[in-house]
Homo-oligomer: A and B are copies of this chain.
Amino acid sequence: MGPVAIVGVGLMGGSLGLALRSLDGVEVRGADPEPEALRTALDMGAIDVACDSLEEVVRGARAVVLAAPVPELPGLARRALAAAPDDCVITDIGSTKSGVLEALTPAERGRFIGGHPVCGGERTGVAFAREGLFQGVTWFLTPGAEARSDLFGQLHALVVAVGARPVAIDAGVHDHLMALVSHLPHVLAGALVNQAADTAPGGREALRSAGPSFTDLTRVAGSNPPLWADILLANSASVLDVLRDFTTRLGEVAAALGRHDREWLLGFVGDAADARERLRRAGEAGTAAPVRVLVAVPNRPGAISEIATALGHAHINIEDLSLRPGPPDGEGELVLVVGGADAAREAVRLVGARGYRATAGGDV
C-alpha cells in the first residue's frame, strides 16, 4: 500500500492514521486546518508527516481519505482529484453519501468513491483517536457506476487492512438506510430528552429515577450539535421520509390506545419482538469458512463496483477482493472471498444474473 493522505486529523482521521501506521510499511501523511490538531496527530504517531495543505498531502498518495465535515466534502474532493496522481483513489468518511457524489461529475466519480465507516465516539478530536476504532465495524463503500475497478480494489484493501468490513452499497440506498437506523434515532433521542427536560413532573431531578429504556433511548441525544445539524440537513429528504412514516406509526399507536384496542397493541409489541429477534440473528450470522468466488470481468469502469454493490445489497460480505487484469479491451479475473459455501453460491447467482461468468472456487 502506497502513501495514504488523511485530510482532517480528528477522532476518525487520527484513528485511521493509527490503524494504518500499525501496519508494516504504510506511510501516513496528514493535513488539517487546525495546526494544533496536526501537531497532536504527529506527536501521537497518528501520522508520519504533517503537511500544510491538501495539495501537498495528496502528492504521491495512493489513497486520499477526506475526514472533514459533510458540507466541505465536494470542494475538498475536487481539489484532491486535481492534485492527486491518476492511480490514487479519493474517498471520504461522511455519514451521508448522495450529496458528495451528485456534486461531482461522472469523470470525477471514476476516482472518487464514497465511504462511511459506521463508528465514532462520544468525544471528538484527535486526542481520543485509537488504533482499534475500525476493528470489525461496517465500512460502507458507495462506488458510482463510473468507479474505476483498480481504485475500488485499492480502497477495499485499505478498509480490510484496518480491520473493518467493507460493504458496497448504492449511495441513495445507503442514505435511506442511515436515515432509518441512525438519523431518525438521533432525532427521537433529542426530542425525548428535550420533552423530558421541559415537562417532567416532579422536577428535572425526578428523571434520575428513569429506568434503562430512557437511558438507552437518550444516550445519543445532543452529541456534537454542528455535526448532527449538518448530517440531518445533508440527508434531509430521506430523514423527512422516515420521519413521516414514523409519525404515522405513532398515530396508529395513539389510535389503538384511544379505542382501548388490546389486540392491536399485542400485535404491535409482538411484531417488534419478532423484528428484533430477526435483526439479532442477522447480526450473528456470517462466521462461515471463507470461500473463493472467481468472476470474469471486462476491463471497464463500474464492473467491480456493480458486482460489489450487488453483493453488498444482498449483504454478502466480501472479505477479500483482488483483480488480475487481462489484456486491454479483454477480460480480467476478479477474485472475491466470501463467508461460506451458501454465500458463494448466492454470489455466483447474483453476478451471473448481471451477465458475468462466475464460479465458486473452493476453500481459501
- The answer to whether B195 and A313 touch across the interface, beta carbons within 8 angstroms, is no
Complex A-B: 17 CB contacts under 8 Å:
A118-B211, A138-B209, A177-B209, A181-B207, A181-B210, A185-B214, A187-B250, A188-B250, A189-B272, A190-B253, A193-B279, A196-B275, A222-B275, A228-B269, A229-B262, A247-B247, A247-B251
Within 8 A of B (CB), among A321-341: none
Whether a CB of chain B sits under 8 angstroms from the CB of A249 is yes
- A203 contacts B313, CB within 8 Å? yes
**In the complex, are the beta carbons of A279 and B119 less than 8 A apart?**
no
Q: Are B213 and A182 in contact (CB under 8 A)?
A: yes
Which 3 pairs show the lowest CB-CB distances between chains A and B? A222-B273, A197-B275, A222-B272
Is A289 in the interface zone, CB < 8 Å from B?
no
- Once the chains bind, are A186 and B213 in contact (CB under 8 Å)? yes
Q: In the complex the two chains form, what is the Cα distance from A222 to B119 in whole Å?
A: 26
Q: How many Å from the CB of A86 to the closest CB on chain B?
A: 32
Which of B192, B233, B269, B278 interacts with A260 by CB under 8 Å?
Answer: B233
Which among A45-53, A237-245, A292-300 touches the partner chain?
Answer: A237-245
Known: A225-B269, A313-B203. A243 touches B254 (CB 8 A): yes
Judged by a CB distance under 8 angstroms, whether A212 is at the interface is yes
A167 lies within 8 A of chain B by Cβ: yes
Interface, chain A (partner B; CB < 8 A): 118-120, 138, 140, 167, 169, 173, 176-177, 180-182, 184-197, 199-214, 216-226, 228-230, 232-233, 236, 239-240, 242-247, 249-251, 253-254, 257-258, 260, 262, 265-266, 268-279, 282-283, 285, 312-315
Q: Would A222 and B276 be within 8 Å (CB), given that A177-B201, A202-B173, A217-B189 are in contact? A: yes
Across the interface, name the chain B residue whose C-beta is closest to A267: B225
Closest to A223 in B: B273
Which B residues lie within 8 Å of A249 (CB)? 191, 194-195
Query: CA–CA, A208 to B199, complex, Å?
Result: 35
- A315 touching B279, Cβ below 8 Å: no
> What's the Cα separation between A244 and B254 when bound, in Å?
8
Chain B neighbourhood of A270, CB < 8 A: 222, 225
B247 & A187 in contact (Cβ 8 Å cutoff): no
Chain B residue numbers with a CB within 8 Å of A314 are 203, 205
Contact call B208/A276, Cβ cutoff below 8 A: no
Q: Return the chain B residue nearest A119 by Cβ.
A: B211
Shortest Cβ gap from A237 to chain B (Å) = 9
Which residue on chain B has the smallest CB distance to residue A224? B269
A257 in complex: contacting residue of B205, B209, B239, B275, CB < 8 Å = B239
Q: Which of chain B's residues have a CB closer than 8 A to the CB of A140?
A: 209
Chain B positions within 8 Å of A233 at CB level: 257, 260, 262, 265
- Is B194 in contact with A272, judged by CB distance below 8 angstroms? yes
Complex: A308 Cα to B203 Cα, angstroms? 16
Give A181 Cβ to nearest chain B Cβ, in Å: 4
Q: Is the CB of A204 within 8 A of B282?
A: yes
Other contacts beyond A138-B208, A176-B201: 7, CB < 8 A? A181-B209, A185-B192, A193-B276, A217-B217, A221-B275, A225-B269, A225-B270
B182 near A214 with CB under 8 A, answer yes
Quick one: which of B201, B266, B278 contacts A225, CB cutoff 8 A?
B266
Taking CB atoms, residues of chain B closer than 8 Å to A258 are 236, 240
